[in-house]
Amino acid sequence: MQDLTPGARLRSSFMATDTAVRKDSRGVSYLSLKLVDRTGSIDARMWGLPEELLKGLPSPTYVDVEGHAHEYRGTLQVKVERLRVLRLEELSEVDYLPATEQNRQAMAEEVMLAGRGFENEHLKDLFELMVSDEQFWKAFCEAPAAKGMHHARIGGLLEHSVSCLRIAHALAQLYPVDQDLLLFGVVFHDVGKVHELSWGGGGFAYTTEGRLLGHVVLGERLVSSYVAALPGFPEELRLRISHVLLSHQGETEYGSPERPKTLEALLVHLVDNLDARAAMYLETTTNVSPGGWSHHANPLGRALYVPDEPERENPGENA
């Protein structure tokens, strides 16, 4: 869906959400809906409704759709020409959950490579212990990074961790920081999401444990349990790891019981924040056309602009 351009034809199956029958400015009824699949979502409209669609559709429904893409007020939209409701027997719900477009295997290897390069033996052992816990590692590579703010997709936690890891590599060249602890911190700062969220056929949701304890404490507790399994782990390092995990939200009002007080903790928070906000921009503007504006209602809380085509800026470029 990411590759749709105005004019392109579309024929595929989707999860349909936010369904409603409305009237246009001429008084004609049409079906308004959102089409979701692994690669993202897009708004759609259907006119010329057959009788059985005039009364609307439940949300979500799974549908087979034919139509084509076009631009409407600066945002890409699908005009549906044919629509068939699928029965649950025809499909596997999990296929329609949004999922990362990145290669999860490659991302997992990038993380492993970083951990195996640690010079600090204790952090290296801790890292090795964690990635060799198969059940944990599978969950970490599958989990979404959030229910809705950013990276809310299968593999989203891994994707966010890898982005943070790449930024951290650059920072380690710049500041007199404990590189191993910084890398460990950016990779696992959100590890508590693995217990805070659930991701099954029914979509992404908070667990009861997640709502009562929160991912900040759950993550610190999880890593501490691996540390406890390593005899001779230095107390000072244990404290510094726990501090990085507990303080990564940056401010108490965002759920960190303490604010960052070491350089590694400060940088982990800042890198997390940077990648999260960049993702909010990118995910909000996915379907906005060049020169257009997004809606106000998004995690950044303001309308966002997608600049006009660079070609128009640089007319002399092709000369």
Q: How far is the CB of 225 from a second copy (least distance, A)?
A: 10
Q: Which residues contact 156 (CB under 8 A, 6 or more apart)?
A: 100, 143, 144, 145, 146, 150
CA separation for the pair 40, 97 (Å, rounded): 9
Number of residues that bind a second copy (CB under 8 A): 82
- Sites for a second copy among residues 77-116 (CB under 8 A): none
Q: Which is nearer to a second copy, 68 or 209 (CB)?
A: 209
Q: Which of 58, 105, 48, 109 is nearest to 80 (CA)?
A: 48
The answer to whether 217 contacts a second copy (rule: CB under 8 A) is: yes
102, 155 in Cβ contact below 8 A? yes
By the 10 Å C-beta count (0-12 exposed, 13-18 middle, 19+ buried), 319 is classed as exposed
What residue spans of the chain are helical by DSSP H?
51-54, 104-116, 121-131, 134-142, 156-174, 179-188, 193-196, 208-228, 235-246, 263-284, 310-313
70 is a contact residue toward a second copy (CB under 8 A): no
CB of 101 to a second copy, least distance (A): 13
Query: Closest approach of Cβ 300 to a second copy, in Å?
Result: 8
End-to-end CA, the chain: 34
Q: Which of residues 283-302 bind a second copy (CB under 8 A)?
A: 291, 293, 302
∠306-309-313 over CA atoms, to 5°? 115
Q: Please report whether residue 47 would count as binding a second copy according to CB under 8 A.
A: no
Beta carbon nearer to a second copy, 35 or 279: 279
Token pair belonging to 26? 């001429």
Asked if 73 interacts with a second copy (CB under 8 A), we say: no
What is the closest distance, in whole angstroms, from the C-beta atom of residue 81 to a second copy in the complex? 22
Closer CB to a second copy, residue 8 or residue 205? 205
Helix (H) or strand (E) holding 37: strand 29-37
Residue ranges in 175-194 that form contacts with a second copy under rule CB under 8 A: 175-176, 178
In whole angstroms, how close is the CB of 227 to a second copy at the nearest point? 12
Show contacts with a second copy in window 299-318 (CB under 8 A): 302-308, 310, 312-317
Q: How far is 119 from 123, CA to CA, in rounded Å?
A: 8
Q: Which is nearer to a second copy, 11 or 59 (CB)?
A: 59
13 vs 86: CA distance, rounded Å: 9
Q: Which of 15, 69, 216, 222 is the binder for a second copy (CB under 8 A)?
A: 216
Taking CB under 8 A as the criterion, the residue among 37, 240, 283, 299 binding a second copy is: 240
Tell me which stretch binds a second copy (CB under 8 A): 25-33, 43-51, 63-71, 129-137.
25-33
* By CB under 8 A, residue 135 contacts a second copy: no
Candidate list 49, 259, 283, 298; residue touching a second copy; CB under 8 A = 259
